[in-house]
Structure 1
Amino acid sequence: MIPEADRLGQVQEYYFSRKLREVRGLVAQGHPVINLGIGSPDLAPSDAVLEMLTEAVRDSGAHQYQSYQGLPELRATIADFYLKKFGVELKPESEVLPLMGSKEGIMHISMAFLNEGDEVLIPNPGYPTYASVTRLVGAIPRFYELEGKANWFPDLEALGNSDLSRVKLMWVSYPHMPTGAMASLEQFEELLAFARAHQILVVNDNPYSFVLSKEPLSILSARGAAGNALELNSLSKTFNMAGWRVGMLLGAAPLLNAVLKVKSNMDSGMFYGIQKGAIAALKSGQQWFDTLDATYRKRRQAVFELAGLLGCSFDREAVGMFVWAKLPEGSADSETFIDQLLYKKHLFVAPGTIFGSQGAGYIRFSLCVPEEKIREAIERVREYVPGGNQIMRSE
């Protein structure tokens, strides 16, 4: 067998890829697993989006290679969306770059700006892909710790007092994944001032602004963002289009041009029909967002009840499609806790530790499950121990 590349020694298979095989195995054995771990929307896109896709596949040229920069109409619609929702003005021809999902953007950005040995500031807890991609391109992850008492925002003063001479890039994600914490405009401005002072490019990964959030915010609306920040966004969560793989990168033209150099060598453009469907989604009226929030609000209330039965504490003001919950004192560690839930009650939730060491003692519930399934999960916990509270202690 030909040996794998050395770089693969720096990463592991994605946790959910590995764990879901285990979950599927239990389902294949006849166990009725309720999956509260994955943030993959179970709802459908709007009828307008589906109709647009159906019509678009018959358009002339729909099945040819598409532009690496996406349809001009899609870029213009993204710019209009950002102006309407965030108050951010963008030039469609040079400051908007459609992506095949924002996950590919993490790789493309890293390849565009990082050299081997460069350091990257990565949130702990945070999205595991930031660290994996950093290692794959030969750069060095440097984790900065986030804490609940600071509402999961970095201690910029402490970071500034450390040696940042080799840091090139900083990943942030607000609303924060996995905790759902929001950042204010003032905090974004502090973050940008910190980045300018240390010549660091800040990238905000922002796919959760329109799920249970009253005040959507973009880092690009903050003073000092021009040329110092990029923002990733996605249609996966807001428009129930996770499998469509539609994302976008926004920011100054020179930065996007660097990313385009990578992207244009990696793919041959997004399918035309998907782009047309994305255009329809981005033109959705307020009723779409209100209906989405109403659904997630009911589910979140049910998850609050479930988390309470398990003895967990949580922030009722957090946003996004997850509930980040602190395990009760005396509980098993988070991975043991979720395995006990999985094998004793066939409920799968995500352990906080997969998002970093600061996730120890936490678990994460997904809201991408019908309310009746969450209610079923509640009944399973009630049956396990009457009252449910603090049902799984460390042994």
Structure 2
Amino acid sequence: MIQKADRLNNVKEYYFSMKLREVAALRNAGKPVINIAIGSPDLHPSTKVIEAIKNAVELPNAHQYQSYQGIPELRDGMAQFYKEKYNVTLNPASEILPLMGSKEGIMHISLAFLNKGDQVLIPNPGYPTYASVTNLVEATSIFYNLNVENNWLPNFEEIEKNDLTKVKIMWVNYPHMPTGAVATKEDFKQLIAFAKKHTILIVNDNPYSFILNENPISILEVDGAKDVAIELNSLSKTFNMAGWRVGMVVGDAQIIKTILEVKSNMDSGMFLGIQKGAVEAFKLSNDWFQQLNKIYEKRRALVWQIFDALNCTYNPAIGGLFVWAKIPEGQTSEALTDKLLYEKDVFITPGTIFGTNGEGYIRASLCVDEATLTEVLNRITA
């Protein structure tokens, strides 16, 4: 038996990868399981985007390798998007790097800046991939607490009780997944000041700006942010293009150049058709977001009813693609979600997969149509 690499000793298979096999087995056994756990948009991209990719297939160079940095038209579209939506000016030639989804970027950034033994500040609760990738590159995860009492924002006084001399990267994610909490410009100013004080690279993972959020912002709006911060963004949730795998990392030219040194050794460019589709997505008007959010508002109201039926509590002022809810006292997250899976044929995410501070919470996705959510409500109240 060939032994696996030591770097995998502290890395587990992604939770949803494992759990979906269990769900598939239940379905194969005849169980009508409904999945409201995963944020994979079920709504379609714009018809303009679909037409662009169809037309691109016929272009004479569509089958060829593409630039590692994406076509100029795509970088121009990303720059224009950041200017119009966030009032952030970016040089499309040097401050933008298209990615095959922002998840890819997490690995590229980590490989570009972390050495064995370096430390990384990771939110608890937070996206599990931050810790997994940190382990893969043999750096050390230092988890910082997020909690409802502090509106799921970093507590810098608590963080600074640690020795931060070996910390090179701090992952932040606002609007936050899984809680939906948002950061203000003042919150981002504190983050930038903290990063400059300790010489830490802040990476804000920002794919949820426009989902049920009236004030989309970028960390790069803060004066001087480019000195210590970069931002990941994605078309997955904003434009219903999750399976297309297209995103970006933006920030200081030298930092972007360093990330490109990794990326150019990892892939051979993005399919031209996807790039052309993304260009059209960035041209969509605000009507696109308004129509999207009307649908999500109706779905969220049904998820609230589901959580009411489970005697869970939630903050109706928080937006995002998910609803994060506190479960009744005396229960654990995984026990409740397993009970729902095996007794009600409903798959909901336990908060514990996002970290120890997720215990006592569950998360439901809005990427499910109203009829399906109504069926979930009926099953739970039956």
AA matched with 1:224: G
Letter in 2 for 1:306: I
Partner Cα distance (1:109, 1:319) in 2: 28
> Which residue number in structure 2 is paired with residue 340 of structure 1?
339
Residue 88 (str. 1) matches residue 91 (str. 2):
no
Q: Which runs of 5+ in 1 are unaligned?
A: 384-395
Aligned partner of 2:17 in structure 1 is: 17
| Structure 1 residue 330: Cα displacement | 2.0
Q: How does 1:59-78 map to 2 (within 5 A)?
A: 59-78=59-78
Report the residue type matching 1:348 in the other structure.
F
Corresponding residue number in structure 2 for 1:361 = 360
Residue 362 of structure 2 aligns to a residue in which SS? strand
The DSSP-based 3-state class of the residue aligned with 1:111 is helix
The residue that corresponds to 2:58 in the other structure is: 58
Provide the rounded CA distance (Å) in 1 between the counterparts of 2:330 and 2:285: 47
Cross-structure match for 1:151: 151
Is the counterpart of residue 256 in structure 1 residue 277 in structure 2?
Answer: no
* Cα displacement string for residues 270-293 of structure 1 (whole angstroms, at most 9, x for unaligned residues): 000000000011111111111100
Counterpart Cα distance in 1 of 2:349 and 2:272:
35
2:294 and 2:147 map into 1 onto residues whose CA distance is 29
CA distance in 2, matches of 1:102, 1:319: 21
2:309 corresponds to: 309
Aligned to 2:139: 139
Q: Distance in 2 between matches of 1:128 and 1:249?
A: 19
**What amino acid does structure 1 have at the position aligned with 2:277?**
G
Residues 203 and 229 of structure 1 are in contact (CA less than 8 Å); yes or no, is this contact kept in structure 2? Answer: yes
Root-mean-square deviation over aligned CA pairs: 0.6
Alpha-carbon distance between aligned partners in 1 of 2:151 and 2:373, rounded to the nearest angstrom: 27
CA drift of 1:320 comes to 1.2
Aligned-residue offset at 1:215: 0.4
1 CA distance for matches of 2:28 and 2:14? 22
CA contact (8 A) 1:189 1:224 kept: no
Deviations for 1:92-134, whole angstroms, at most 9, x for unmatched residues? Answer: 0000000000000000000000000000000000000000000
Once the 2 structures are TM-superposed, how far is the Cα of residue 31 of structure 1 from its aligned partner?
1.2
Gaps of at least 5 residues in structure 2 are none
**Matched residue of 2:204: which SS?**
strand
Stretch of structure 1 that moved more, 151-160 or 339-348: 151-160
Post-superposition offset of 1:227:
2.0
1:349 aligns with 2:348: yes
Q: 2:247: which partner in 1? A: 247
Q: Secondary structure at the match of 1:10?
A: coil
2:342 counterpart letter in structure 1: Y
Quick check: 1:226–1:252 contact (8 Å CA) kept in 2?
Answer: yes
Structure 2: how far apart are the matches of 1:101 and 1:174?
17
* Map of 2:222 onto structure 1: 222
Aligned residue for 2:177, secondary structure, equals coil
- Cα separation, 2, equivalents of 1:26 and 1:46: 34
Aligned equivalents of 1:240, 1:116: Cα separation in 2: 37
- Name the structure 2 match of 1:112: 112
| Contact 1:160-1:194 at 8 Å conserved across structures | no
Displacement of 1:21: 0.3
1:197-249 per-residue CA deviation (whole Å, 9 max, x = no partner) reads 00000000000001000000100001220221000000000111000000100
Please, what TM-score do these two structures have when normalized by structure 1? 0.96
Output the amino acid matched with 2:319: V
Structure 1 distance, partners of 2:307, 2:223, is: 39
Aligned to 2:298: 298
Partner secondary structure for residue 323 of structure 2: strand
Q: Secondary structure at the match of 1:105?
A: helix
Match of residue 374 from structure 1: 373
Alpha-carbon separation, structure 2, partners of 1:226 and 1:31:
51
Matched ranges for 1:119-134 at <5 A: 119-134=119-134
Kindly provide the CA deviation profile for residues 236-270 of structure 1, in whole angstroms up to 9, marking residues without a partner as x.
00111000000100000000000000000000000
How many residue pairs match? The answer is: 382
- Give, in whole Å, the separation in 2 of the partners of 1:221 and 1:60: 40
Cα distance between partner residues in 1 of 2:200 and 2:294:
39
Q: CA deviation at 1:162?
A: 2.3
| Aligned counterparts of 1:46 and 1:24: Cα–Cα separation in 2 | 30
Q: 1:160 — aligned with what?
A: 160
**Separation in 1, partners of 2:69, 2:227:** 20
Cα distance between partner residues in 1 of 2:260 and 2:317: 38
Q: Distance in 2 between matches of 1:155 and 1:25?
A: 42
Whole-Å separation in 2 of the counterparts to 1:163 and 1:2: 39
Tell me the secondary structure at the aligned position of residue 196 of structure 2: helix
- The one-letter amino acid paired with 2:285 is G
Report the Cα distance in structure 1 between the residues aligned to 2:294 and 2:272, rounded to whole angstroms: 32
In 2, the alpha carbon distance for the partners of 1:224 and 1:236 equals 28
* Structure 1 residue 309, shift from structure 2 partner: 0.6
CA contact (8 A) 1:32 1:346 kept: yes
Does the 8 Å contact 1:48/1:280 carry over to 2?
yes
Counterpart CA distance in 2 for 1:3 and 1:187 is 46
Task: Give the conservation status (yes or no) of the 8 Å contact 1:313–1:327.
Answer: yes
Q: Give the deviation of 1:317 after TM superposition.
A: 1.4
The amino acid across from 2:365 in the alignment is S
Structure 1 segments, 4+ long, off by >2 Å, are: none
Q: SS of the counterpart of 2:225? A: coil
* CA–CA separation in structure 2 for the residues paired with 1:286 and 1:152: 28
CA distance in 2, matches of 1:158, 1:6: 32
